[in-house]
Structure formats: structure tokens, C-alpha cells
Structure 1
């Protein structure tokens, strides 16, 4: 009788609390695999960014062909795709609230590689910021949720229908509409407004990416999940949110300096991803209060480290291939003040004059 009633009791537990039945028994190996994949992916992204930047500088100096004809640039693009694929896979093995903060690894690696590839100088803020970011990452890894969940289609459907997620989604949509109204209709081009739009979209991106990655992983290692409509719904949400996120992020890069966009985007994106993991995937449900406090402390250290690294980064000025640098003209002592006269050269003056904005007088 005891053996016969046990499956029925287990079935009742599974029906009433389907998310409990999907939790693994603290699979440390799977958890560490997600961390390693995420770190490797972020390092590849930082390498690709520096390679692409190097290709832009080299092509601008040569002034012969567009940057997209360079094999070095395409190599950087390939590494970028590989790194993003690694981040995508990491969501299938580790909690979303941990994978997102590990993005600071990309900032640290980029600062180191820029010294090697682009010959940028090492500043005191780089050393302090790198130390804080590494310390924060170590704290994050140790105190983040260590519970891994089998992401199945039925589990994703269960999470989608939770009342707290529906409330969170409604509040997010209302806030997004308000910010979009201020940005588009009232022409308020403040960096906080633009980056909040990116962060709100990033929240949906993190939720959908982890759902898609988890269902693909479960389909490979366990039961096929690609036959459920929720999988394709999440794919559409992932693509749409990524596309609009990139759109607003590019607009922010056009309007503001990268030293402002990079740290603010990292802070907002990480916060959005952590909140999404808490609300949708309930990753902090059984986490001790000390772990929560230390996790937030690790996030704070990472935020501060990224801010110090990105602050006042040296800029590389690209030479316009259609300009003749005025300091190349012989017998000119104050070349920054010399320009071709428009009356003589007509429309050719625009092609011959270099932009001297930001230069100071030597006299």
C-alpha cells in the first residue's frame, strides 16, 4: 500500500507546485559550466571589440578601402558572434541573475586589451576599477543562487501565468510607454531616459533568452521542447526585444559619449536582469538573507569598478581620409589656424579642410 500511494503523492506535489519538481539537486558542475561559458563569452566579446576598433583605425590611416573589406574586421565580427553565442548558452546552465553581472568581465578584459592592442595608457582608475570589479565578480559567484532549474515549456508557461510576473509586466509596459512618450513626443533626450528604455527591453530579453536557451538545452539532454508554441513565442519576444534594444542603444551612442553610455548601460542592464530573474524565475526564493546582501554588495562593487574603468577613457581620433592634415603643409608655424579660402576653392574647401574642433591655440 505504501509503494502504491507514493507515485500518487508525488503526482499531486508535481501538479500543485510544478516549479518545485523541476529544481535540480544543486548541480555544482552545471552551475560552474554556465559561469565558465559566460566568462569566456565576455572575454571573446572584448577581444572582438578591440579587433574591430583596431581595424577601423588602420583602415582610416590607410584611407584606401572601407572597413568592411578588411579581413581583420570580419575576424572581430566572427569573435563577437561566438562570444554572444557563449552568453546565450550560459543562460541555459546558470541563473540569469548571475550571468548578467558577469558582463563586467568584458569591460575588464577590454581595458586590458586596449593597452596591448591600441597602446592606451594604464591609469590609476583602471587599476582600482579592475580590482573592485574582480572583487565584486568573486563575491557574486560565491553568493549568487546556486540552484539550477530544468527549463521546460510547461515550466515557462507556469511562470508566464504567475500573477506577480503579470503585475511586473504591466508596470514595465506602463513605464515604457511613459518614457517613450517623453523621448519621442516631448523630445527629452536625456541619457537616463534612453538607457531606461534599453533596460526595460533588456528585462524581456533576459527572460526570453534564458527560456529559449533552457528549452534548447533540455531538448538536447532530455525531452524535446521545440514542439510547444511557447518556445516560438519566446523566440519572437527575444528577437523583437533585442532589435529594439540595439536601436535605442545605438541612438544613445550617437547622442552621448561612450564613457557615459557604457557604465550606465551595464548598471541598468544588470539591475534589470537581476529583477527579471527574481520575478520570473524566482531565483532568490530560497536564498538566505546574508547571501542576498552579499550578492547586492558584489553588484555594487562591480558597478563602481566598471564606472572607474569607463570614466574618461582616452579617445582615439580617426583621421578623415578625405581631409589633408594642415600640419603637413610646410612653412606654417600655426597650422591649426590655416584653412583654404572658400572663395578660391569653392566646394573643394569642404573636402580639403580637416575638422579642427577641440584643438587649442599654441600661441
Structure 2
């Protein structure tokens, strides 16, 4: 396939990217609810749920959903995909209400409406394609540019300071962990975008998998996901998972969108109006997630949580906060 046909196929399919991301979120929501049901029905014992068909069905669906969300990054930008996992929290809440595992509160209805409206604005007005073809050489050139170098220096310094504060227990607050997760989430976002773009480009005939940058991004991706999961697990044990849902979603979304702009200049061709409407959509998503989780934080009820965007985004691909709450249930 000729190289001049690659950009349209790579970056022009807004519907395919949105479909993969939203579909992944829906599947993940169903999967986490199945896993919760399996844990609630299982006998006393931490490993009793492994004998449940519900739990294994949820695990398979979780893998499928995360794979779909991951593949969406081959077709669109970080800014376009990162806010979409708000849909997962909305669907999870609806499923809990449908199966009478939770009660309806006015904040739930208002939050779900705000989150859905915000995602619609993001899908319509976010930049859906990069105007520069993402190749291994292009990524190398971006890493050598002054803006990315300054960004990486500041991010590494912030990460080191936060790690020192966290391990020395100078200031024990969940905001410290949220900032750590946000920094790692930004790494996950731009690495996922680069890895998937290189894979798709290779599948179209322009081989990029032999480029060293592909493997560097892949290693950084797995490392950032692992440490995100570890920090979220520790935070869930200390502060409770429900308290972290909205905070982690908001912090990771903001840091990922910023990273996408710094590394790939995703908003270069966007008008001021489109940028403002995109920001409005993100604010609606943030307020919606806050409202949906507000009452549940008080009761410490389980809210299945995803990061598809993360590989959301956004958030690590494993539902760390949900599994932490499940351990409390069992």
C-alpha cells in the first residue's frame, strides 16, 4: 500500500476510534459487574471466586474490553480518547441500579447526564487525527525537541519529589498518590499512542517494528502501567477505592491530554472554539464522575472502575480499584 494513502486510514476514522473506545468501556463495565457478582456469591475465602463461571466470564470480557480500548489509540489522538472512559462509570452505575446493587440518588442521575453530555462534546470537538504521520523517526525527533525535553525534565523532577515524599511518609494524603498516578498515566498515554500508531503503520506496509523507538515505548508502557497499578492498589488499601475513582480519572485525563499535546501537537489545527468546547466537554465529564461517585464514597460502595483509556487512560488496564474493593467484600 502506498504511503500517501496511510494518513487517511490512520487518522481519518473518528467513528472507528470512538466505537472501539466506547465499546471497550461498555464491555469492561459488564465485566467488572460480573466479577463483583461472582465475589458476592462465592463462599468465604479469598480464592473461592476462582471456581465461579461468572468471574471467569468477567475476566475474559475484561481482556476483550481493554484490548478494544488499547486498539482505539491506533486510529485517533490521546485527547480524543482519554475522556471517554467516563462512559464506563456511567454504565457501571446503571448496571448496579438495574440489578438492585445500589440505590438511585439524584446526584447519580445528574452525574450520568453530565458525563454523557461531556463525552459527546469531546467526541465531536476533540482533535481526532494527527497532522504529522507518527513514525519511529518522527517520535525520535519529538524526543529531541526543546519542548519535550523541558516537559520530561519537569516531569522527572516532580516524580522524584513525589516518590521521596511518599516513601518517607512526609505527607500522607491520597493527593500525593493521585499526582504520581497522573504522571505515570501521561507516560502510558503517549506511549500507547506511539506504539499503536507504529503497529498500524507496519500492518499497512511501512515497517516500523524494527525501529528501536518502538521497543523503548513498549517498555515504558508496561512499566508505567505496572507502577500505576501498584500505587492505586496501595492507595485503595489506605484510603478506600471509591475515594480515588473521580480523582484518578480527572488527574490522569488532564495529564494525558497535556502529554498528547506536548508530544504530538494534537491541537495545532484546532480552532479556539473547538478547544473551548472540548474543555467544556472535559469539565462536564469531570463533574459527572464526581456526582456519580459522591454518595458512593460516603458508603464506600463498590463502583467498577476502568482506565481504558487509559489504557486511558487513561488509568492502568487492570481494574485495580475494583479488585481492591472486592477483597474487602470477600
Aligned residues: 296
Q: What residue number does 2:210 align with?
A: 227
1:203-214 residue pairs with structure 2 within 5 A?
203-214=186-197
CA distance, structure 2, for counterparts of residue 126 and residue 226 of structure 1? 45
- Residue 101 of structure 1 aligns to a residue whose secondary structure is coil
Instruction: Work out whether residues 21 and 84 of structure 2, in 8 Å CA contact, stay in contact via their aligned partners in 1.
Output: yes
Once the two structures are superposed, residues 268-311 of structure 1 have per-residue CA deviations (whole angstroms, 9 ceiling, x without a partner) of 01001100111001001121111111111110010000000011
> Residue in 2 aligned with 1:10?
none
1:183 corresponds, among 157, 166, 169, to: 166
The alpha-carbon deviation at position 25 of structure 1 amounts to: 5.7
Unaligned runs of at least 5 residues, structure 1 = 1-20, 318-363
The one of the two structures with greater contact order (alpha-carbon pairs below 8 A, sep at least 6) is: 2
Q: TM-score, normalised by structure 1?
A: 0.77
1:94 aligns with 2:90: no
**Mapped contact 1:135–1:298 kept (Cα < 8 A):** yes
Distance between the aligned counterparts of 1:22 and 1:172, measured in 2?
36
What CA RMSD, in Å, does the superposition of the two structures yield over aligned residues? 2.1
Aligned partners of 2:55 and 2:33: how far apart in 1? Answer: 10
Residue of structure 2 in register with 1:265 after alignment: 248
Unaligned runs of 5+ in 2: 303-330
Distance 1:109 1:181 in 2: 38
Other-structure match for 2:200: 217
Structure 1 residue corresponding to 2:101, chosen from 102, 115, 119? 119
Q: Take 1:82 and 1:25, find their aligned partners in 2: how far apart are those partners?
A: 26
Q: Secondary structure at the match of 2:199?
A: helix
1:36 aligns to 2:16 (yes or no):
no
The residue that corresponds to 1:80 in the other structure is: 62
Large movers: runs of 4+ above 6 Å: 62-65
Alignment-derived partner of residue 67 in structure 1? 49
Q: Indicate the residue corresponding to 1:193 in structure 2.
A: 176
Q: Which residue of the other structure, out of 302, 322, 346, is the alignment partner of 2:285?
A: 302
Cα distance, 1:218–1:118 mapped onto 2, change above 3 Å? farther
C-alpha change, 1:302 and 1:224, in structure 2 (3 Å) is same
Cα displacement string for residues 106-153 of structure 1 (whole angstroms, at most 9, x for unaligned residues)? 111111111123532221111100010111111111111133454321
How far 1:26 moved relative to its partner? 9.6
Instruction: Say if 1:233 and 1:63 are closer, same or farther in 2 by CA, change over 3 A.
Output: closer
Q: Structure 1 stretch 135-144 or stretch 25-34: which is displaced more?
A: 25-34
Distance 1:119 1:28, change over 3 A: same
Please tell me whether Structure 1 or Structure 2 has the larger radius of gyration of its CA atoms. 1
In structure 1, the partner of 2:270 is 287
